A = this chain, B = another copy of it.
Amino acid sequence: MNSFVYDIPVKVYFGENQLSHLGEELSRYGKRVLLTYGGGSIKKTGLYDAVVSEIKKAGLEFYELSGIAPNPRIESVREGVEICKRENIDVLLAVGGGSTLDATKWMAAGACVEHDPWEFFSQWAPVEKALPVLTVPTLAATGSEMDAGGVISNPETQDKIGRVAKPLLPKVSFLDPTNTYTVSPYQTACGAADMMSHIMEVYFNMETDLYMLDCFMEGMMKTIIKYAPIAMKEPENYEARANLMWTSSWAINGFTHGGKQQEWSCHPMEHELSAIYDITHGLGLAILTPRWMEYCLDETTVSKYYQFGVNVFGIDASLEPMAVAKESIEWLSKFFFETLGLKRTFTEVGIEKKNFAVMAKKACGGDVLLGFKPLRQQDIEQIFEMCL
């Protein structure tokens, strides 16, 4: 069992009507705010007005950057950095989905360096500091509101790269489940698949670690399985939206990791898909995950599948471990492709075989992905083929 450091000092206001604290929290960090958001849906829902009203009430000056797209581009980050520098921004406020939050974090880091922000990804330039970031998420999925990571795409180089750096951790996040009421059933399903994957990337691990963390992960997976279908059918079900929202934060804020060292598997593979095909991240993960599970199942890994099947799906513990393992993959597939109604294959979403070699090579960094099972280029190509 490895040692670890737990350090997640994000303050969270959870629930309805907490936005009245926004002004006081922003004010702790300065006077000049950059408000960032996506395609403008927050104007339709009234969230934009509510946020702006709180900023004004607190007597803060603010600038805006809108139009941050899903799978956010380095170009948006560059724009934000430019505003931060030009307008001497003190604090950034990201209102939107994971893409807006991720892009904003990298603007905050980019504002503190002289070089182009893509160098954080292309050259792994150090992230020593960042401007403070506050967030108001409108989607339960990426967990960006409580973690120190952000994923940025570069269409020119067909790269989509995630990186974690402590200074990117938001200072304060406002999690209001009602802000996710307008998320479509499809995006709710993709968000659920994304969260499941965040948990499974850590849970499927043969390192000895803390049982209490496994229990927590099983509880979160049960929560997603219970509430995602409810939120799809009843978009304004507060209980469902609240459970999904708090789970999305805890699925990836680092708590579940404990001392585990293992790399993630499905996320690096998926990033290559959406770098080229621009598909929704959660959808890509849903297609990949059960096939990856099939590929990794053998006598050395079966015990983890057994634990998953029994504790998450309630499969009969008296069955043979291998039978439980296979059944657990079926249950997960049923959840993704029947209950959530997501597409099951690459073919259905227009991903063709021709790019497999390139994508697989990139996913393992040209060498090996040290995930649940070590995956080399040919392993990843095989998993891709299983997804066709």
Contact = CB atoms under 8 A, between A and B. Distances in A.
A81 to B, nearest CB: 28
Interface in A187-208: 208
Interface stretch (A12-20, A60-68, A119-127, A274-282): A12-20
A7 interface: yes
A4 B15 contact: yes
Contacts of A216: 215-216, 219
Contact of A238 (B1, B5, B7, B226): B1
A7 B11 CA distance: 5
A246 B212 contact: yes
Contacts of A243: 210-212
A70 interface: no
A219 to B, nearest CB: 3
Nearest to A18: B3
Contacts of A246: 210, 212-213, 258
A246 B4 CA distance: 12
Contact of A6 (B3, B14, B258): B14
A218 B220 contact: no
Contacts of A212: 219-220, 223, 243, 246-247, 250
Oligomeric state, in copies:
2
A210 B242 contact: yes
Interface in A1-40: 1-7, 9, 11-18
B5 A14 contact: yes
A222 interface: yes
Contact of A227 (B16, B211, B226): B211
A313 to B, nearest CB: 14
A352 interface: no
Contact of A4 (B7, B14, B214, B226): B14
A363 B2 CA distance: 43
A7 B175 CA distance: 13
Interface string A226-262: 1100000000001100110011001000000011000
13 contacts: A3-B15, A4-B14, A5-B12, A5-B18, A7-B11, A9-B11, A210-B243, A212-B219, A212-B223, A212-B246, A215-B218, A216-B216, A216-B219
Smallest CB-CB A-B distances: 10 pairs: A3-B15, A215-B219, A9-B9, A6-B12, A212-B223, A7-B11, A212-B247, A212-B243, A216-B219, A216-B216
